[in-house]
Amino acid sequence: MEKPKILFVFNPRAGKAKIRNRLCDIIDVFVKAGYEVTVYPTQEEGDAIRAVRDKREDYDLLVCSGGDGTLDEVVSGMMKCRKQIPIGYIPAGSTNDFARSLGIPKDMVKAAEVIAAGHDYACDIGAMNEECFVYIAAFGLFTDVSYETSQDIKNILGHMAYILEGMKRLSSIKSYKLKVNYKYKEKGEGGMETGSSGRIYKEAELEDEFIFGMVTNSISVGGFKRITGKYVELDDGEFEVTLIRKPSNPLDINVIIGALLNRRINTDHMYCFKTPEIAFESEDEIPWTTDGEFGGNHKKVAITNKKQAVKIRIPEK
């Protein structure tokens, strides 16, 4: 009987290159579970996309290890394939927000055991101007920290790299004038939201000046849990949106940060809502980031939720 096959794609430099010390143990878990394993270490940006998209063999499971950027590439490659197969994720980056949201263990060998014995979860994926992202698209304050911080610095400082780099920017906060169009779910009688089978969406528009915006499908962002909302589902076909308005004075910044970290929505300073689709338009180009990587400079951005588009292997409940 032919053994099921795994394509194992990993970033050898992610997270202090710790996978190098665990690689044999990880492969051993898969082999003992009855899999035949093909190993593919990435060498440069875009390698994971090509490895998945151009795979020549008929694999049963795709496993990736690295940071959120590696997972982003693997998912992007999978979305370009005719045949969809489940994805197993072994987190090895600095923050690993998406793994936290799915309950995937930080320990690499335990994460491999989850892949071998867990179950498949159909998860939403985002598309920004037709390019896929896994859990976040964002602009504004601190969003360039992740992709402007070198891998070597990330490896040395870990999560503190983002904070240290971000602190340098507080004295020169930039704001962006935006027109935002989005869909929202209409509530039925008694204020109850319509069910998934009978959703009725209405359209809304707002214009304002923002210092930060994020469209997310994650419980954790930047290592902070619940910053995206209290009732987050990763398979409901909707994003959580947070848009922070330009503060009128320096004291407002502390109010905004406190509101975010404690998830006490301050309507004077921010907009927070759920949506399956959202579009941004500005007169000037705005730099965006997707899953911690540079997502390009854009005047127009259209983001849509691809409901339950990929299957991720997660722990049994």
Q: What are the residues whose beta carbons fall under 8 Å from the beta carbon of 191, sequence distance 6 or more?
A: none
Task: Mention every residue, 6+ apart, whose C-beta is less than 8 A from residue 314.
Answer: 102, 103, 104, 114, 118, 119, 120, 121
Rounded CA separation 278/234 (Å): 17
**Which of 131, 277, 281, 293 is the catalytic position?**
293
- Report the sign of the C-alpha dihedral through residues 96, 99, 101, 105, in that order: negative
In contact, 209 and 177? CB cutoff 8 Å: yes
Q: Could you tell me if 291 and 135 are in contact, meaning their C-beta atoms sit under 8 angstroms apart?
A: yes
Location of structure tokens 């996309």: 49
SS3 call for 278: strand
d(CA 135, CA 220): 9
Residues pairing with 272 in the sheet: 242
Q: Identify the burial level of 267 via C-beta atoms within 10 angstroms of its C-beta, where 0-12 means exposed, 13-18 middle and 19 or more buried.
A: exposed
**Which amino acid type is present at position 316?**
E
293 is known as an active-site residue: yes
**Of 286, 182, 197, 198, the residue nearest 240 (C-alpha):** 182
Catalytic residue annotation: 293
